[in-house]
A and B are shown apart, each in its own frame.
Chain A
Amino acid sequence: MMFLDNLKFELNYHRQQYVFYVMAGVVFLLFFLAMTSPNVSIGGGGPNVNLNATMAIYNTLLSVSFLAVIMSITFTANSVIRDYDYKTIEFFLSRPLSKAGFIYGRFTGSFFFGVLVYLAGLMGILVGELMPWLDPERLGDFSLTPYVYGTLLGGLPNLFIFSCIFFCIASVTRSLGYTYVAAVALLMLSFLLDYFTDRETVQLTSILDPFGSTAVDELTRYWTPFEQNRDLPPLEGTILVNRALWLFIAVCCLGASYRLYPFSINRSSKIKAAKPAEVEAVSSSRSPIAKVTQQFDFSAQVSQFASQTRLEIRSLVFSVPFAIVMVLGMIQVVAGAIGNLGSIFGTPVYPTTSNMVSVINGVFSLPLLVVLVYMSGDMMVRERATRSHEIIDAMPFPNWVMIAAKWVGLATVVVIMLLAVMVAAIALQLFNGYYEIDLPQYLLGLLFFFQFPIYLMVTMSVFFYVLTRNKYTAMFLMIVYVVSGLSLPAMGFEHYLYRMAEINMTTSYSDFTGYSQDVVPHLWQTFYWGLFGCLMLLAAHLLWPRGSEDDRANRVKVMRARMTRPVVISLWGFSTAFLMVGGFIYYNTNVLNRYLTNDDLETLQADYEKAYKRYEREPQPALQSVYVEVDIYPEERDVAAKGHYELVNRNSFPISQIHFTEALGVDLKSLDLPESEMTRDEKLGYRIYTLASPMLPGDSIGVDFSVLWTTPGFANRGHPVQLASNGTFFNNTDLLPQIGYQSGAELQDNNKRREQDLPPVQRLPDLDDPEGRNSVGLMSNRRVDFEAVVSTSPDQIAIAPGYLQKEWEDNGRRYFHYKMDSPIWNFFSFLSGDYQLKTDKWNDVAIEVYYQHDYNVDTMIESTKDSLDYFSKNFSPYQYRQFRILEFPRFQGRFAQSFPNTIPFSESIGFTADLRDKTNIDYVYYVTAHELAHQWWAHQVLGADVQGSTMIVETLAQYSALMVMEQKYGAAQMQKFLSFELDSYLRGRGSEIIEELPLYRVENQAYIHYRKGSVVFYALKDLIGESAINDALATFLEQYAFKDAPYPTTRELLTLIRDRADPQYADTITDMFEKIVLFDVKVNDADVIELDDGGFEVSFDVSSIKFEADGEGFETEVAISDWVDIGVLGEKVGDAEVPEILHLEKVKLTSGASNYTLRVDQKPVSVGIDPLNKLVDRNPDDNIKAL
């Protein structure tokens, strides 16, 4: 049987290739580690999802298949190409083989081995799951089902699909290069499709994604941990279509390979003995070759190197595969930019050069690595593969000429590819009407500060080949290196003395500082690893295969012979320099600074909690006033401060001990309490002062302290980002000692807590905890008087909350004296930067924006004015005479934060948003309004430090911002905004780390207090009216603003709201705030009839389900009795391009199916139930149906 013979041949062939065992072994190990090491995660979910959750296994298996795809190139494609590579095709062709037997035998055999590698990965997961040291809390019952299901639906089909495609391409082109190109193209296609997350396109991308993961992600995007632990994606809808489509394509490819494989050796391109043979007799034996001058000095060697380099570059660059990869890379970057730059509420940021460099670093690193790994393999074996090595090796050039030429050739490829994507990026900038193209930044960011230490990888790929003499093994070592580089830190190995990954400079770039922020450690690292690279190249010189004999004994002999004086001297020199630089780095990271891994930090946090949690409720004096003198030295990234706390005993009993927690990493030079004894825990930074005579109730005591926050040398994880040469921004908890135990420092992730033997976290006291009513959780439970003198360099402005009293220069430093005229919470910030300033006025309030980027400063000012208008009219007056917004560097975070009269606002979120397209959501306006609302919802009234407190702060700020936004942009824009909010909420449920809580008990869970809060409050406004809510809020402020304990909770707020709501909505309000309720309403069928009078009659069926969920995400269906919108929509209108609402009314909905008939005058386009997405609907896409 021809087929079986070929199959057997193929199996035997691979079995003998040790590459197979290496691959299988590594894949097994990789996924075993992924399963058993708590820090390495490949396909797993959030911390509440079991390690062996069905979806975790399913997704991990998809990753295995992803790897298996890379493998299937070496197996599948190689099975066709190999005979051409090894010139054995004639041998096979000369045998009486049937073509089908030959081709399909080869295919099946190599596919089978791909499957074996896949199964090795699967076994890694399965065996890993059974390991006894896994945290039993994170394991569900063992089940084979997800393995079988995931293999049948994901892994095996993927492997088959890709094997077929690669086999086909390999058959047609007989070139591994093109096959790799196809692989890169498919990977890129898959990445590209990820960028199209629009609701409309995601259906299509789900079908087109060759890996089938988009469809699964799409279907499971709202799955709660409970569902992720238990369920598997059903084989239906887009998943089914996707699998069917790609299997069909695969089978077509397989058929095509049979048809297109030329079962012969006729290569059409051969010149058939051309003409020269005829002319020979004439011109022969003329011109005896002239003597030439030969030169072998160093300059000649340089010429040899240049010539060899030209050839290397020609071979690498002037090839069709390279051109294809380059074009694909450019497309990838453009699509990546389009996808990434629009990530906040769908509104893009300006394609600034720094953003483009970030995008390229983000999306292009992997493709570049793939190309590098492939090309290096190809290049390193070229002489041997073409059998030109005997000629070349006998030529009189030193080894370095060849090694250097290969290195430069490969580096040039990298540079060309980066320049190509740079051109694409610049084209995109110009296309977007953005003309501030910063060429030096491009060149630095791509060619020097690239995310991967790219030139070192070039060196390594040369070295690995020379070491292994096998291009596949070398490629594989490169992959192992990349994977280990990514996973070592997760396993607690973070020091870059042994981890060849550098600080990612593209994330420490800001227009404030340029690349200066972490450049010093980066340069040292580059130097260190550069020296190591030199050592590798020296080793490459010693081991360089030259000649035709290459066994181990010979290698040693050759190596000895090559140990010439210069080589030995260089070896010594580079090793010594390497060790010295390493020593210097060690001195900086471990002696000058404290070397702490993430694990160390977690242990510190845990130790702190274990040692001092018992003092959490220890009565402490209250902070009465704060006076600080803060000297910021931006260039040195140092801060020195001294200050004075005034403490008062507000308890009804004496206090004899005062506790302080030091700021981590800050040197508390002195903290003096009169007549006291102090014990200090140096490691955990905890101090207890025992007073000689206790503080009596009402007594006050002054505390003087001084602190020093310095950044000596450089640290392994970099110095605190808060300190920057331009754009310093930190708050008091970063710098100053705080009174008592700080529960904010506790570990929040329960899995990490279990590792540290800590009980499950209690994020907040229960809503009804009477003790909690006396606390606000901001380091002090009362407002304090605040005064600060901040100094900085003369070219910078320093800012703290309060009003500027005085500004002066002294001794080459610039001083600012700030003082707040009313008490504020013990939470304040210090900033310093070289800002531009724009000022404006609203009534008597001075508006100031300190900025680097002027794009949206006017929007911020406009939002400030509108918000001040709305809030002061509807809630209460604004308490300050001034409102300041300050831009801070993007590496400090992507947020805005509200301090009294002071709002630091990240460079990366409002200041560079591109608001030119009016259909997009103006989130700059929204964020400004939200932060300004915190001047009320935080600074006027703050909830008690119990469950629900962030609803009072964040949800009310969301509501306030929504109202200002709606006033400016209209209800239509709100729907667009709220659909983002609903989506974020539903997704957020899946990554909940402890349990989901109802809104009124929210425990600082962002997806609830922001996202669900917006949706709920908007619906509430729709139900009971804006004025009712505003009235409730105004009353709430009236009762609690600026008051001392007891502080309000959500119970008080809800009572005020309920009082103003029609009793018929009582249940709905309960659902919204006190339960976790979700709907799934949809339109099944819809019809329209044009009436004689020109009107239209629309009738449609809807079905509705309502669930109540518990904290884990387990859902139970409940009866519906709710007021829900039904409506008819028309054409898209207005700036925002949203459908016009032709008819909207509320109906009382009941469970099951219902039928509605509506009449409209204009031509309807679609109908819907809850068309504006006011309900928390698990499936908001099907609420509207086109007619």
Chain B
Amino acid sequence: MLTIRDLSKTYANGVKALNKINLELEPGMFGLLGPNGAGKSSLMRTLATLQEADEGTAMLDEVDILKDKDSLRRVLGYLPQDFGVYPKLSPLTMLDHFAMLKGVVNKGERRELVDALLHQVNLYDVRKKAIDTFSGGMKQRFGIAQALIGNPRLVIVDEPTAGLDPSERNRFHNLLAEIGENIVVILSTHIVDDVTDLCANMAIMGAGEILLTGKPREVIERIKGNVWSKQISRSELNDYQQNFRVILSHLREGHTVIHVLSENQPEGFDHQEANLEDVYFATLINHGIAVSL
């Protein structure tokens, strides 16, 4: 279990990235939603021992993440949002090296592990090609593979599906679901569907704070029946924003459709089946976080 208590962080430039974060994460997939600048990456990096916190604690079971970084690193799998690799080296070489860095010292065991990983992320056929020539998806799969090395008890993946095509994304989800059964997996994303599809638990972050936590279905339940939609013309958007709590707008067949939050059905609006996206935007707007529509 990952327990985060009052975790705060202010950067040297004065930006308050984390503001008294409190979370309790059971084994399983945990989705972390939030717009850019919400503090997701700061939280992830702090949990991945890549940066210091000003106050608060973070414990993975008995491991004090902030104080005993090395112990955490031994059970951590981390896939950063944006990463590169040493030029000219193959996934085989790099995974072998990473396995070594993760303490898999036994050569036979390491080889088996690396082979299994390569198969699992389907890079076995290109295991001897240089990674820096890979496409985005292939590189991302390599990133997953390295995060799975060892026996991670905490896996952190930051925006993992960005740049993946649908089939790759699907495949990736399967992988995550598989490992997410017994360990804590934190998936940071701004793609709401990822969370819906995968996560047993979730939180929404904004402006350095946790705005909402819960199970996806449960949080959707909370606003069920309060979401209404209407097709409008783009120029009317401002007016509607003045008069309604517009939580999102999207295009449907080239027309602007807005969702509003209301206990009663506003005039001219249709009932809208609530989904996580509605929850997400509603939460942000409820907390006064600007969302561009």
What residues make up the interface of A, taking CB atoms closer than 8 Å to B?
269-277, 279-281, 283-296, 299-300, 303-304, 307-308, 310-311, 314-315, 318, 382, 386-388, 390-398, 401, 546-549, 551-554, 557-558
Interchain CA distance A397-B167 in the complex, whole Å = 35
- Interface residue from B12, B104, B106, B138 paired with A274 (Cβ < 8 Å): B138
- For residue A160, give the distance in angstroms from its CB to the closest CB of chain B: 33
Contact check, B74 vs A314: say whether CB atoms are below 8 A apart.
no
Inter-chain contact count A-B, CB under 8 Å? 183
- Interface residue from B96, B105, B126 paired with A300 (Cβ < 8 Å): B105
- For residue B205, give the distance in angstroms from its CB to the closest CB of chain A: 18
Interchain CA distance A549-B51 in the complex, whole Å = 6
Contact check, B133 vs A388: say whether CB atoms are below 8 A apart.
no
Interchain CA distance A155-B71 in the complex, whole Å = 59
Instruction: Specify which chain A residues have a CB less than 8 angstroms from the CB of B112 in the assembled complex.
Output: 290
Contact check, B101 vs A304: say whether CB atoms are below 8 A apart.
yes
Contact check, B151 vs A395: say whether CB atoms are below 8 A apart.
no
Instruction: Specify which chain A residues have a CB less than 8 angstroms from the CB of B151 in the assembled complex.
Output: 291-292, 294
Interchain CA distance A283-B120 in the complex, whole Å = 7
Interface positions, chain B 27-62, Cβ under 8 Å from A, are: 45, 48-52
Interface positions, chain B 96-122, Cβ under 8 Å from A, are: 96-106, 109-110, 112-113, 116-117, 119-120, 122
Say yes or no: A273-B86 contact (C-beta < 8 A), given A391-B80, A394-B76, A554-B12. Answer: no
Contact check, B102 vs A294: say whether CB atoms are below 8 A apart.
yes
17 more A-B residue pairs beyond the given contacts A287-B120, A296-B74, A397-B101, with a C-beta to C-beta distance below 8 A: A271-B126, A274-B138, A277-B168, A280-B168, A281-B167, A284-B171, A289-B179, A294-B151, A295-B106, A304-B100, A307-B97, A308-B101, A311-B93, A318-B88, A396-B73, A396-B76, A554-B12
- Interface residue from B50, B105, B134 paired with A548 (Cβ < 8 Å): B50
Say yes or no: A293-B137 contact (C-beta < 8 A), given A387-B82, A387-B83, A396-B74. Answer: no
Give the interface SS of chain A, mostly helix, strand, loop or mixed.
Answer: loop
Q: Which residue of B lies closest to A402 (CB)?
A: B101
Contact check, A276 vs B138: say whether CB atoms are below 8 A apart.
yes
Contact check, A549 vs B167: say whether CB atoms are below 8 A apart.
no
- For residue A164, give the distance in angstroms from its CB to the closest CB of chain B: 28
Say yes or no: A388-B85 contact (C-beta < 8 A), given A284-B171, A554-B12, A554-B52. Answer: yes
Whether a CB of chain A sits under 8 angstroms from the CB of B146 is: yes
Interchain CA distance A285-B176 in the complex, whole Å = 10
Say yes or no: A270-B51 contact (C-beta < 8 A), given A290-B116, A292-B113. Answer: no
Contact check, A396 vs B101: say whether CB atoms are below 8 A apart.
yes
Whether a CB of chain A sits under 8 angstroms from the CB of B197 is: no
Instruction: Specify which chain A residues have a CB less than 8 angstroms from the CB of B103 in the assembled complex.
Output: 294-296, 300, 304, 396
- Interface residue from A274, A386, A394, A401 paired with B135 (Cβ < 8 Å): A274
Contact check, B137 vs A277: say whether CB atoms are below 8 A apart.
yes
- For residue B154, give the distance in angstroms from its CB to the closest CB of chain A: 11
- For residue A174, give the distance in angstroms from its CB to the closest CB of chain B: 13
Interchain CA distance A269-B167 in the complex, whole Å = 25
Q: Which residue of A lies closest to B103 (CB)?
A: A294
Instruction: Specify which chain A residues have a CB less than 8 angstroms from the CB of B122 in the assembled complex.
Output: 276, 279-280, 283-284
Q: What are 16 A-B interface contacts by the 8 Å CB criterion?
A: A277-B165, A283-B119, A285-B120, A285-B174, A287-B119, A290-B112, A292-B109, A294-B74, A307-B97, A386-B87, A390-B45, A391-B143, A396-B73, A397-B101, A547-B50, A549-B52
- For residue B96, give the distance in angstroms from its CB to the closest CB of chain A: 8
Contact check, B104 vs A294: say whether CB atoms are below 8 A apart.
yes
Contact check, B70 vs A288: say whether CB atoms are below 8 A apart.
no
- For residue A307, give the distance in angstroms from its CB to the closest CB of chain B: 4
Whether a CB of chain A sits under 8 angstroms from the CB of B123 is: yes
Q: Which of A280, A396, A548 has the most chain B CB within a 10 Å cutoff?
A: A396
Interchain CA distance A318-B88 in the complex, whole Å = 10
- Interface residue from A275, A283, A294 paired with B150 (Cβ < 8 Å): A294
Instruction: Specify which chain A residues have a CB less than 8 angstroms from the CB of B123 in the assembled complex.
Output: 276
Contact check, A271 vs B50: say whether CB atoms are below 8 A apart.
no
Instruction: Specify which chain B residues have a CB less than 8 angstroms from the CB of A288 in the assembled complex.
Output: 178
Instruction: Specify which chain B residues have a CB less than 8 angstroms from the CB of A290 in the assembled complex.
Output: 112-113, 116
Instruction: Specify which chain A residues have a CB less than 8 angstroms from the CB of B74 in the assembled complex.
Output: 294, 296, 396
Contact check, B167 vs A277: say whether CB atoms are below 8 A apart.
yes
| Cβ contacts B187-200/A at 8 Å (1 or 0 each) | 00000000000000
Q: Which residue of A lies closest to B70 (CB)?
A: A396
Contact check, B12 vs A548: say whether CB atoms are below 8 A apart.
no
Contact check, B133 vs A394: say whether CB atoms are below 8 A apart.
no
Interchain CA distance A549-B11 in the complex, whole Å = 9
- For residue B16, give the distance in angstroms from its CB to the closest CB of chain A: 15
Interchain CA distance A843-B240 in the complex, whole Å = 128
Whether a CB of chain A sits under 8 angstroms from the CB of B84 is: yes
Whether a CB of chain A sits under 8 angstroms from the CB of B175 is: yes
What residues make up the interface of B, taking CB atoms closer than 8 Å to A?
11-12, 45, 48-52, 70, 73-74, 76, 78-80, 82-89, 93, 96-106, 109-110, 112-113, 116-117, 119-120, 122-123, 125-126, 129, 133-135, 137-138, 143, 146, 148, 150-151, 165, 167-168, 171, 174-175, 178-179
Instruction: Specify which chain B residues have a CB less than 8 angstroms from the CB of A558 in the assembled complex.
Output: 52
Say yes or no: A394-B12 contact (C-beta < 8 A), given A293-B106, A557-B52. Answer: no
Instruction: Specify which chain A residues have a CB less than 8 angstroms from the CB of B78 in the assembled complex.
Output: 390-391, 394
- Interface residue from A272, A307, A398 paired with B100 (Cβ < 8 Å): A307
Q: Which residue of B lies closest to A303 (CB)?
A: B105
Contact check, B102 vs A395: say whether CB atoms are below 8 A apart.
yes
Instruction: Specify which chain A residues have a CB less than 8 angstroms from the CB of B138 in the assembled complex.
Output: 271, 273-274, 276
A-B complex: 9 closest residue pairs judged by Cβ atoms: A547-B50, A294-B103, A396-B73, A387-B84, A549-B51, A390-B80, A395-B101, A551-B12, A386-B84
Interchain CA distance A283-B123 in the complex, whole Å = 11
Q: Which residue of A lies closest to B41 (CB)?
A: A548
- For residue A576, give the distance in angstroms from its CB to the closest CB of chain B: 28
Q: Which of A283, A387, A395, A552 has the most chain B CB within a 10 Å cutoff?
A: A395
- Interface residue from A275, A299, A300 paired with B125 (Cβ < 8 Å): A275
- For residue A541, give the distance in angstroms from its CB to the closest CB of chain B: 14
Q: Which of B82, B96, B150 has the most chain A CB within a 10 Å cutoff?
A: B150
Q: Which residue of B lies closest to A276 (CB)?
A: B122
Contact check, B167 vs A280: say whether CB atoms are below 8 A apart.
yes
Say yes or no: A272-B135 contact (C-beta < 8 A), given A291-B151, A386-B87, A548-B45. Answer: yes
- For residue B134, give the distance in angstroms from its CB to the closest CB of chain A: 6
Contact check, A388 vs B84: say whether CB atoms are below 8 A apart.
yes
- For residue B272, give the distance in angstroms from its CB to the closest CB of chain A: 35
Instruction: Specify which chain A residues have a CB less than 8 angstroms from the CB of B96 in the assembled complex.
Output: 307
- For residue A317, give the distance in angstroms from its CB to the closest CB of chain B: 12
Say yes or no: A271-B133 contact (C-beta < 8 A), given A386-B87, A551-B12. Answer: yes
- Interface residue from A275, A285, A304, A311 paired with B178 (Cβ < 8 Å): A285
Say yes or no: A391-B113 contact (C-beta < 8 A), given A270-B133, A315-B86, A397-B101. Answer: no
Contact check, A394 vs B73: say whether CB atoms are below 8 A apart.
yes
Instruction: Specify which chain A residues have a CB less than 8 angstroms from the CB of B50 in the assembled complex.
Output: 390, 393-394, 546-549
Contact check, B119 vs A286: say whether CB atoms are below 8 A apart.
yes
Q: Which residue of B lies closest to A284 (CB)?
A: B171
Interchain CA distance A553-B126 in the complex, whole Å = 44
- For residue B68, give the distance in angstroms from its CB to the closest CB of chain A: 11
Instruction: Specify which chain A residues have a CB less than 8 angstroms from the CB of B98 in the assembled complex.
Output: 391, 395
Instruction: Specify which chain A residues have a CB less than 8 angstroms from the CB of B126 in the assembled complex.
Output: 271, 274, 276
Q: Which residue of B lies closest to A267 (CB)?
A: B133
- For residue A402, give the distance in angstroms from its CB to the closest CB of chain B: 10
Instruction: Specify which chain A residues have a CB less than 8 angstroms from the CB of B146 in the assembled complex.
Output: 391
Q: Which residue of B lies closest to A269 (CB)?
A: B133
Contact check, B49 vs A394: say whether CB atoms are below 8 A apart.
yes
Q: Which residue of A lies closest to B17 (CB)?
A: A549
Interchain CA distance A388-B82 in the complex, whole Å = 9
- For residue B266, give the distance in angstroms from its CB to the closest CB of chain A: 43
Interchain CA distance A309-B116 in the complex, whole Å = 25
Instruction: Specify which chain B residues have a CB less than 8 angstroms from the CB of A279 in the assembled complex.
Output: 122, 125
Instruction: Specify which chain A residues have a CB less than 8 angstroms from the CB of B99 in the assembled complex.
Output: 292
Q: Which residue of B lies closest to A390 (CB)?
A: B80
Interchain CA distance A285-B134 in the complex, whole Å = 22
- For residue A85, give the distance in angstroms from its CB to the closest CB of chain B: 12
Q: Which residue of A lies closest to B77 (CB)?
A: A394
